[in-house]
């Protein structure tokens, strides 16, 4: 069996600088197959520049929860300045592209792509948020949650956390981390921080051959201070801290 490589990216969040660095690395590795797990444009950075890059590449993409929110509010006024900024930065061609995407995708019963869980784009697949912090779900919980998926390899995003989990039933779940936002905080269902501890961009490379699959979680440096400047210009000091430190 000839070895076949796939690159998996997720949670770009309009960070064109990080995306450019990741795509350059993918090109250097001569990887032709790219999966994009969504949350592509939303953020106080460079949605337009991100769209310019994404639409140049042939890749399999799905919707993230923030992509869905962009579509739902594309013609509505909002009291969210970052949402308004993102929507105003994107042209009709980009919204047409988003409108064609699905929430999940099954690739030849080999790979299953989702942004959050199998059913919800705004929930974590591998993690659960408790009053005492974020913990990994048990193998039994995950086996039950993905029982409808035939594919052996499941790619998920949303948590921005690089993870590889092998389940006792042979299923493999991989989160490639975030290309463009290495940390964030959220209030629901309890206040929690998702942190990579690094300002660098993340993506995943998976290679299939006769021995099985080899997975590489890849960290790519880029000029994150320029992204920090964009966040500060758009009055998001919280994003500036997340981008600079990878800490919530």
In the numeric block, which tokens belong to residue 66? 């923030």
- Other C-beta atoms within 10 Å of 103: how many? 19
Q: pTM of the full predicted structure?
A: 0.97
pLDDT digits (tens, 9 = 90+) for 148-195: 999 999 999 999 999 999 999 999 999 999 999 999 999 999 999 999
Q: Is 232 helix (H, G, I), strand (E, B) or coil?
A: helix
The candidate with the shortest Cα–Cα distance to 217, out of 176, 183, 157, 165, is 176
Q: Is 134 helix (H, G, I), strand (E, B) or coil?
A: strand
User: Concatenated DSSP letters for 55-110?
Assistant: TTS--EE---HHHHHHHHTTTS--S-HHHHHHHHHS-HHHHHHHHT--SEEEETTT
What does the pLDDT read at residue 126? 98
210 band by pLDDT with thresholds 50, 70 and 90: confident
Could you check whether the bond before residue 154 is cis, i.e. omega within 30 degrees of 0?
Answer: no
Q: Find the helix packing angle between 65-72 and 92-99, rounded to 10°.
A: 120
The candidate with the shortest Cα–Cα distance to 6, out of 27, 32, 29, 25, is 32
What does the pLDDT read at residue 211? 83
pLDDT digits (tens, 9 = 90+) for 57-68: 999 999 999 999
pLDDT digits (tens, 9 = 90+) for 104-123: 999 999 999 999 999 999 99
Residue 1 DSSP class: -
What does the pLDDT read at residue 1? 65
By the 8 A CB rule, do 200 and 220 touch?
yes
Task: Please state the length of the chain.
Answer: 248
Report which secondary-structure segment, H or E, holds 213. Answer: strand 212-220
Portion of the chain with pLDDT greater than 90, in percent: 95
What does the pLDDT read at residue 103? 98
pLDDT at 209 over 90: no
All domains of the chain in start order, with CATH: 4-245 (3.60.21.10)
First-last CA distance in the chain: 44
What does the pLDDT read at residue 78? 85
pLDDT at 11 over 80: yes
Residue 211 DSSP class: T
Checking DSSP bridges between strand 4-9 and strand 201-209, what pairing results, if any? antiparallel
- Other C-beta atoms within 10 Å of 52: how many? 14
In the numeric block, which tokens belong to residue 209? 């051959």
Stretch among 23-27, 78-82, 141-145, 170-174 having the lowest mean pLDDT: 78-82
pLDDT digits (tens, 9 = 90+) for 61-108: 999 999 999 999 998 878 999 999 999 999 999 999 999 999 999 999
- Cα 175 to chain center, whole Å? 8
């Amino acid at each position: 069996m000839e070895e076949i490589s796939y690159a998996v990216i997720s949670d770009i969040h309009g960070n064109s600088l990080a995306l450019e660095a990741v795509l350059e690395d993918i090109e250097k590795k001569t990887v032709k197959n790219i999966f994009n797990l969504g949350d592509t444009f939303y953020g106080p950075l460079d949605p337009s520049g991100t769209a310019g890059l994404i639409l140049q590449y042939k890749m399999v993409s799905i919707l993230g929860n923030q992509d869905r929110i962009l579509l739902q509010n594309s013609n509505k006024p909002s009291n969210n300045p970052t949402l308004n900024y993102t929507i105003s930065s994107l042209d009709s061609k980009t919204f047409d592209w988003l409108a064609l995407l699905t929430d999940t995708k099954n690739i030849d019963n080999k790979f299953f792509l989702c942004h959050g869980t199998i059913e919800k784009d705004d929930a974590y697949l591998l993690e659960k948020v408790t009053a005492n912090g974020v913990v990994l779900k048990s193998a039994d919980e995950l086996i039950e949650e993905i029982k409808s998926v035939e594919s052996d390899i499941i790619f998920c995003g949303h948590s921005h956390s690089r993870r590889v989990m092998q389940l006792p039933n042979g299923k493999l779940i991989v989160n490639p981390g975030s290309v463009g936002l290495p940390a964030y905080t959220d209030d629901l269902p309890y206040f929690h921080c998702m942190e990579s501890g690094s300002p660098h961009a993340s993506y995943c490379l998976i290679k299939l051959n006769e021995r099985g699959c080899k997975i590489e979680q890849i960290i790519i440096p880029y000029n994150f201070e320029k992204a920090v400047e964009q966040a500060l210009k758009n009055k998001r000091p919280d994003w500036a801290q997340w981008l600079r430190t990878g800490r919530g």
